[in-house]
Every structure is written in C-alpha cells, then in structure tokens.
Chains A and B, each alone.
Chain A
Amino acid sequence: MSTEGTSVDVTPDPTAAVADDEVIVETDERLVPTVLEWMADATSVVHTIEEYRVVPWGPNADEMWELGKLTSERLGTLLKVHRVGRRYGLVLEDAGSRPERHFLLDGLTAKSWHDVIVFEAVVGPFFRLFLESFFRSSVADLDGLTRDLWTESQRFIRFGQARTARALAGGDRVELQSALERWLPAVVRALGEVPADLDETWRLAGLRTRTSDQVRQDYLDEIATYLQGNDLEIPAAVADAVCEVEVKWLGEEVAGGGRRDRPLKAATFAFTDRLREGDGRGVPASAPDRPGADASGSA
C-alpha cells in the first residue's frame, strides 16, 4: 500500500496491541497436510451420501439436471483439494473411499429427493462454516482453497434451501421433516469430530481462525433460525443442542397499532366537506378545495 502524499504512518508500532486475528505467526507448513486431509474428507461427503444416485429421482427432468450439475460440481471440488494436496506431497485421490475418513454422518446415504434437498439445506451450512473457519489462514494455499470451496458451497446451500422452500409450499412437510430427522442428529455429532488438541494446534499455527466451539455455535444458531423460519421442528434427538430461537409474535405492535377487527369503510373527503359546511370549530380561509371532476381542477 502506498501512503505517499498523506500523513499516514504505516510503520508498525511494536508496543501496540493487536487483535487476535492480526497475530502473525510462523506457520509450520508440515501442518498444512493435516488440514487438507480434513478438507478432502469434508468434500468427500458427495460420496458419503452417494448424492449422484439420487439424480434420476428428481421430480422432473429440470430438477434432475440441476442436481446432476450440483453433484458434478461437488465432485469437482474434490479435484481442487487433491490439486492443492499434491503441492504438499499428499495423495488424496482415494479420500472418498477411505472407510476411516471423517464426516461420515453416521453412514447415512441419500435415499430420496427430499433427503438430498434437506441435506443441502441443513447439512450444507455446517460444511460452509467448517470452511469459513480456515478463512484468513496464514497459508495462502489454504486461504485460497477455502474461499474457492466456500463460494461453491453457497450455491449448494441455495439449491437445497430453495427446493426445500418450494417443497414446503407444495405440501411436502412430512417428507422434509422425516429427512431432517435423519440428517440433523448426524451433523450435530459431526460438529464435534475435530479433536480438541488438533483444533488448538491449527489455531496456534494460524491455520484456523475459528475454533470448533465457535463453528459449533455458529452452526446451531444458524440452523435453529433456519428451521424456525420454515416452521420445521427441531428433532427431539438434538433438542438439547439446537435450542429453539425465541421469537415473540408482536402482531399489532409490529404493525403500528390500530384495530383490525372492525369492517373497513371507504375513505372520503369528509374533512373538507365538513370545513365547507362549517362545523363551528372555525374554518380557516386556506381550507383546501375538494378536487374538481376535471383533470385540471376548478378555480
């Protein structure tokens, strides 16, 4: 940054306090592969749930096409992780088939269209937040990769949430709730998968900027709001974790008061009429005329 011609002094003040996210650390690059392995596991979720198998079961050809594109994009994100992995000597090509990988989501697979759209709508935000936790990583490769994957993950979530909204409007609440009952407990368990010591190591190395606890809280807040906003019930199995957001219906207070329980009357020029006729309260000379019948008005 150039500050020439200004009074700004960019010389760092060694005594100045710095915010947590401005701490400059010496990153041990040997730790980068540990992050990439977890990222590969996160992006392998397309295999975990076998999302591509559901493509032929979209409600119509348009939705099959959209899901097919999404699935291939998800498979494409894996290639991006693998590519960065190779720079660090990692072979991640088999990540999607390793049985001991993370984020296995209790071994659940997508069995229906509703399963897929609820997965994208509800589980998708967890993976987006997981990626976000590596934003501003001290390693440029990681920062760049996570931003790239994050951007794609937004599309996946939008796909799921838009379809879920449409399905709700179409009366598929039972099917959606049923899918939610499958996925949400699994993703809540996944929130605790990163071991605490690894989480701390990543944080100290500047690789991760949000801890697992923060990711967990971000997710629970976000998903509770989403579910509440769509009148979906929080599954009993995770009721302790996903606290319902307290929403108080303010009704008339929000609407600015007034009475809504009486029949409405036609609005009139009764005020002007009253002034013309004189109602004993004193008629000012400047009282407005009632508009004339013709467009230009009458004198």
Chain B
Amino acid sequence: MALSTIAEEQLKAGGLELDYDDFERTPAEYQDLVVQLLLVQADGEIGVRDLGYFELIGKFPNPADQWMAARVATEEIGHFRYANNVLNGIGYDASERVFVPREQRYLPLFRHEMSDFAEVIAFKGIVETMGRLLLESMFDCNFLPWRDTVRRIWQEEKGHIGFGITRLRRMCETEEGRAQAQAAIDTWYPRLGAFSKESSFTTACLEWGLKRYTNAELIDRFEAETTPWLDEVGLRRPSFAGGERR
C-alpha cells in the first residue's frame, strides 16, 4: 500500500521530522529545495581543493601548523562526502562538482584563491565562523539525515575556527604580523557580503522548515561573535561587499 503524501501545509506548520523513507512523499518543491541546499553545501566544502590551500601547506610557519592545516583541509573534503552521502540517500549525487573550475563554484566566496598563511587563517577564523552559523541555522532542519550530518560537520568546523582564531591572535602579537592579518581580513571579510542581503532561497528554506535564521539574523550573530575578538587583537572590521551572491 502506498504511503500518503505529506502536504505542504503540514511541512510548513513545523513539528514534522522526516527520514529518507519520507522524502519521496514530500512535495516536489521541498525536494528540490533540499537537493539544492545539499548541493550548494557539498560544492562549497569541496571548494577547498581549489582554493590554493593544499599548495600552501609546505609554506606554513611551523610543522605543527602544517600538520593542523592538512588535517583541517582534509576534513573539509570529508564534509563534501557527508553531504554527498545524504544526497545519495535521496537519489542524487554531487560528484560532478568535485572537479569544476574554481570560477564555477556556486558561492562566489569560493571562486578566489588564497595567497599565504594569513589568508588561510583569516578564512578559517572569519569565513568559517559564518559557515558555522549557517550550520547552526539548520540545527532544527526537518530533514533528519541532514540535521544529523549538520551536527557532525559543525563539530569539526568548530575546530577549524579555533585553529584560525588562535593563529590570527598569535600573528597579531607583532606589528608586522598584525599588518599581514589585517590585509587578509580586508580581503576575505568583505566577501561575506553575500549574506548581508536576504535571498529567496533562504526565505524558502525558512518557510519549509530547513533553516531558522534569516540572513539578517546571521549577520547579527556573526558580528556579535567576531567583533569582540577582532577589536581585542587590534584588527579593523571592514565593510561587507554587497550583491555577490549568485
């Protein structure tokens, strides 16, 4: 006997928790939204392979940083695998995103290349904080396989952010280091401007129970979290560049 479909109203009313078996019973719009959400996440995670990060590892300041940086980058590849596993579970695959050229990444943020250690740690400390908040926005996601995966990714991202912030703090102990860190922040911080505007995609995710923060709330949280320590180490907070989001 075929199971009944899950109505749009039921999903949007909240309170439902869906598993793999439920997915095909959901409205097509919801399915498309979940697939796109996971695809963008997978694409962003695997973007690490083409950011210039791995090529820079040998130039990092000391063996401990080299080791940690290699671990962190590898975990990002692992996050692609997590997201793709969920996609596979609903009959989709993002493997073709692995080798796309950098300039074709879905999020403009990942279309740039890092040039030195300062940029790597600025990315980890600043950009990944935004990434972590985006994950937190999905902590109550009604699609359980993804909710569970988000928790797993989030746990590792916390470590990446810690790596970035502690190294940025250390770098700021000298004037020369602070100048390098500031240049890296000036490069990467504005690129988060994409999140400073609301998007129809995020709005849909909110309506369908996949996310819980608007972009405005995300930015508020991001600023509340990063501003204190940036101020403490004497780093200026640049403005967001607008309208980069595809």
Contacts and interface: CB of A to CB of B under 8 A. Distances in A.
Interface of A: 47, 50, 52-53, 55-56, 60-62, 64-65, 68-69, 71-72, 75-76, 78-79, 82, 93, 96
Bin chain B's interface residue count: 20 to 34
Contacts of A69: 71, 74
Nearest to A78: B63
Q: Which of B55, B57, B64, B73 counts the most chain A CB atoms within 10 A?
A: B57
B63 A75 contact: yes
B77 A76 contact: no
Contacts of B64: 79
B74 A65 contact: yes
A65 B79 CA distance: 10
A55 B78 CA distance: 12
Interface stretch (B46-54, B104-112, B150-158): B46-54
Contact of B95 (A52, A60, A79, A96): A60
B174 interface: no
Interface in B49-88: 49-50, 54-55, 57-58, 62-64, 66-67, 70-71, 73-74, 77-78, 80-81, 84
Nearest to B46: A61
CB-CB nearest 3 A-B residue pairs = A68-B74, A56-B49, A72-B70
A65 B81 contact: yes
A-side interface mostly: helix
B81 to A, nearest CB: 6
B98 interface: yes
A96 B64 CA distance: 12
B3 to A, nearest CB: 33
B70 A68 contact: yes
A186 B64 CA distance: 28
19 contacts: A52-B55, A55-B73, A55-B74, A56-B50, A60-B95, A60-B98, A61-B81, A64-B49, A64-B74, A68-B70, A68-B71, A72-B70, A72-B71, A72-B74, A75-B67, A78-B67, A93-B62, A93-B63, A96-B66
A79 B63 contact: yes
Nearest to A55: B54
Contact of B77 (A61, A79, A93): A61
A65 B70 contact: no
Given A53-B55, A55-B49, A71 B63 contact: no
A72 B54 CA distance: 11
Given A56-B49, A60-B95, A93-B62, A65 B77 contact: yes
Given A52-B54, A60-B95, A68-B74, 7 more contacts: A53-B58, A61-B46, A62-B81, A65-B78, A68-B70, A72-B71, A72-B74
